[in-house]
Structure 1
């Protein structure tokens, strides 16, 4: 039976402390895989610490399996994921974080399911959020709840980027070459048969997360804009609603003037109304501006990332098994 290759794509940003532990765990898991071997694609996303040096040290000791891609600066996790998928050459491709919050021990089961059940993707989803701040957990649950209401693309509550995909699904994901990326949505949007393995949340083994609360909020806004046009509809509804309210107020003013004359009182209420309507207009313009800004970035056609160095060749990048 053919020995199949699994490419493990690992986006890294300041993961100097976690990488040796991650590699050790994956090597233990590799020995449990049946008729399969692993290649590692570490993507250094402009780290400020010694992440790249650690990757090179690991690669020196395991040149056959470990490969790396390094960016000229920090381009974000989405760009790192895309680059890793481009350079992966395996029959199957897995996406994992280096902090071991994605349990490597699930890989053998994921491989078995994808082989025997004819799935194109085995994803993972957290069923608990132990160790996570309650506020973040609350907003995360609300995000998935509302995204499924406003978008035609399905968003699985607790889903992680950690997944194992067939080559044809990877090619489909790579064909979505938009600059403004939200991988969880893209993985769902391209379709294919997917099964989600549940697991309990794990905390980082080392280092600190690069995601702040507001960073996650902005990331969520990107998801809304990329996979739903409902905010634009909402902005239009607010405009129509404000127009009808103004007509009602106009009728009220005319009737009051005919019945009671035209008093000069009421300037505070008028100023309040003007401020309210002005605020609604600016709010709607902000929504439109957000979509317009994303469109503007797409039309620039800038690359998702700029490569600084890699041990892979263009032939490796273009090779698809």
Structure 2
């Protein structure tokens, strides 16, 4: 029987872990695959790790990795992909916002010949309105300025073949944006749609600010257009200054009108100063990414695990 590896990042999810396993096994009982769970404890400060360890002692199909601190979901996904050995791999949230029963249909699509079967939400019911608006804006923007298409509403929840996972692991960058990486590797992909679900328990650790920063990282990682914007700002500012110089020079010589110096000077200084700072900020973001990449720091540090040959 072929294996299914289930990668589950967890950060302060003590209320959800046991519910997740119970519901997953119930909803996928007809799936003709041997199931193995890979819980990634991302520096939880509650009893998440203790609950996972209790389950791993009870069931031999429950594996876990525990980080030395919180490294973020991207690091947890990478750790799961590196440690799993299944013929098929799925990534799921422990809060059951990713419906486990969809794996039955996803597996059928894999059997039909697809390499990746992703999922996308057709609505965002239950989310704050401002978050939904910004999410839609992000997908519209990223698909305009990036050559890597990202599906609006797509989740990390997907079923992949071993070949896809092996190629994802060839991407060694430290600044990771999985939604973009999943799209970048290509292969034969299809998506299944579903309506948004509420968390089964607990509260999300994703604040609006964290999501905003995450979206900025996605834009920087998968588009060079912001750098071009900084260049165009400089070009238009230069051309604008030439045009204004000619205009006021001609006006003074021909009509004898003196230029109102103080207001004009203040406006130009504020305009050019703001444009320069904006351009420097854009360039600085890219330089910061380069700086982090050159350090070659590991994406995460494992404190403990029950997976053999991991260390």
Q: Sort the TM-score into its range (normalised by shorter chain).
A: over 0.9
Q: Where does residue 27 of structure 2 map in the other structure?
A: 29
Q: Per-residue CA shift, 1:162-201, capped at 9, x if unaligned?
A: 0010001001111111110000000000011111010010
Q: Give the superposition deviation at 1:306.
A: 0.5
> What 5-or-longer segments of structure 2 have no aligned partner?
none
Distance in 2 separating the partners of 1:269 and 1:210: 48
Q: Give the superposition deviation at 1:252.
A: 1.6
Q: Give the superposition deviation at 1:272.
A: 1.1
1:138-157 to 2 correspondence within 5 Å?
Answer: 138-157=133-152
What TM-score do the two structures reach when normalised by structure 2? 0.98
Maintained 8 Å contact 1:30/1:37 = no
Q: Does 1:183 align with 2:178?
A: yes
> What 5-or-longer segments of structure 1 have no aligned partner?
none
1:40-79 to 2 correspondence within 5 Å?
Answer: 40-62=37-59, 64-79=60-75
Distance in 1 separating the partners of 2:22 and 2:198: 17
**Count of residue pairs the alignment pairs up:** 311
What TM-score do the two structures reach when normalised by structure 1? 0.95
1:132 to 117, 127, 133: 127
Distance in 1 separating the partners of 2:308 and 2:172: 21
1:98 to 88, 94, 100: 94
**Helix, strand or coil: the match of 1:75?**
coil
Distance in 2 separating the partners of 1:313 and 1:298: 29
Distance in 2 separating the partners of 1:172 and 1:265: 63
Greater Cα shift, 285-294 or 252-261: 252-261
Q: Per-residue CA shift, 1:108-130, capped at 9, x if unaligned?
A: 11111101x21111100001111
Q: Where does residue 242 of structure 2 map in the other structure?
A: 247
Q: Where does residue 205 of structure 2 map in the other structure?
A: 210
Distance in 2 separating the partners of 1:263 and 1:135: 49
**Helix, strand or coil: the match of 2:23?**
helix
**Helix, strand or coil: the match of 1:104?**
coil
Q: Give the superposition deviation at 1:133.
A: 1.1
**Helix, strand or coil: the match of 1:175?**
coil
Q: Where does residue 279 of structure 1 map in the other structure?
A: 274
1:156-171 to 2 correspondence within 5 Å?
Answer: 156-171=151-166
Q: Where does residue 173 of structure 1 map in the other structure?
A: 168
Distance in 2 separating the partners of 1:160 and 1:86: 20
Q: Where does residue 5 of structure 1 map in the other structure?
A: 3
Maintained 8 Å contact 1:44/1:68 = yes
Taking only aligned residues, the RMSD between alpha carbons, in angstroms, comes to: 1.2
